[in-house]
Chains A and B, each alone.
Chain A
């Protein structure tokens, strides 16, 4: 009986994450899409950083705005120089909390993340639905949400307003590993 207890304890220790543990994604993907009748614009950033504290469910995301890859170089130029002004505001940062997150639950769970995304120097509150997949302590977060260009004080010149949607769709995917800081 005692042997069985210790065997179970050993298995539980191996599978369940340490409550003080933080996990990190160094190559998260964030993509955004703008759909208009004139043109569709897509950009991908594959080096987005995210850290989750499993103890309290807090999450932080940081991305370099100049690391978004566009189909056309000219689009990238407009994005960095005219819209997000990445020289002045090089990072987009999200800080939030995964509501009712249970890091010990295996498989899929759908949760809401409430937090503030700061881009172009403008903070904006967001509530984002995410799917969390936990496979023996390896977590993958995915989701999609929409946000408005005007929420970040980004001014699109009237001449280009037909090319850029007011509403931007954002997709994300993060694969987390244990974080040893």
Chain B
């Protein structure tokens, strides 16, 4: 009986270790592409009260709906700046994956899109990294 418990303990410990290692090594770009079930928010929701609504989501992959305010390639990075429907002065800065450059060229200012990426936090704007343009999902 003792050896059985020991065996199960070793298996569980090994699985946890392997899962942690895989998680550490996982490419964040791949993580965003692979994650299907994500919290979906409007730009306005993220901006208006980040500490109340979304600070607990930092580090998570989220989907954000908004309007294209700007597409730029500053510092050799592909970036989409999303603005809300109600708020103008703050925005969501989405640092896009390299694979998205082709899609970005066809975007127009004011176009409604959904972007999926890792929420990093809040400065003047909301910062999302490893982003891809995604299909709309259901809102919370």
A27 to B123, Cβ gap below 8 A? no
Q: How far is the CA of A131 from the CA of B3 in the complex (A)?
A: 69
A26 to B124, Cβ gap below 8 A? yes
A62 to B123, Cβ gap below 8 A? yes
B125 to A66, Cβ gap below 8 A? no
Say yes or no for A73: interface residue by CB 8 A criterion: yes
Say yes or no for A74: interface residue by CB 8 A criterion: yes
Chain A residues near B74 (CB-CB < 8 A): 27, 46, 175
Q: Could you tell me how many residues of chain A have their Cβ less than 8 Å away from some Cβ of chain B?
A: 22
Say yes or no for B24: interface residue by CB 8 A criterion: yes
Interface residues of A in 163-181 (CB under 8 A from B): 173, 175, 180-181
Say yes or no for A90: interface residue by CB 8 A criterion: yes
A67 in contact with B124 given A46-B77, A47-B93 (CB within 8 Å): no
B26 to A73, Cβ gap below 8 A? yes
Q: How far is the CA of A77 from the CA of B26 in the complex (A)?
A: 11
Say yes or no for A113: interface residue by CB 8 A criterion: no
Tell me the interface secondary structure of chain B in the complex: mixed
Say yes or no for B129: interface residue by CB 8 A criterion: yes
B25 to A49, Cβ gap below 8 A? no
Say yes or no for B44: interface residue by CB 8 A criterion: no
A73 in contact with B123 given A66-B59, A181-B89 (CB within 8 Å): no
What is the interface of chain B, defined by CB distance below 8 A to chain A?
Answer: 24-28, 58-59, 72, 74-75, 77, 79, 89, 93, 95, 120-121, 123-125, 127, 129
Show 5 A/B contacts (Cβ-Cβ < 8 Å), sorted by A.
A27-B93, A64-B127, A67-B127, A73-B24, A175-B74
Q: Which 7 A/B pairs are nearest by Cβ-Cβ distance?
A: A49-B123, A64-B121, A29-B75, A67-B120, A47-B127, A46-B77, A49-B124
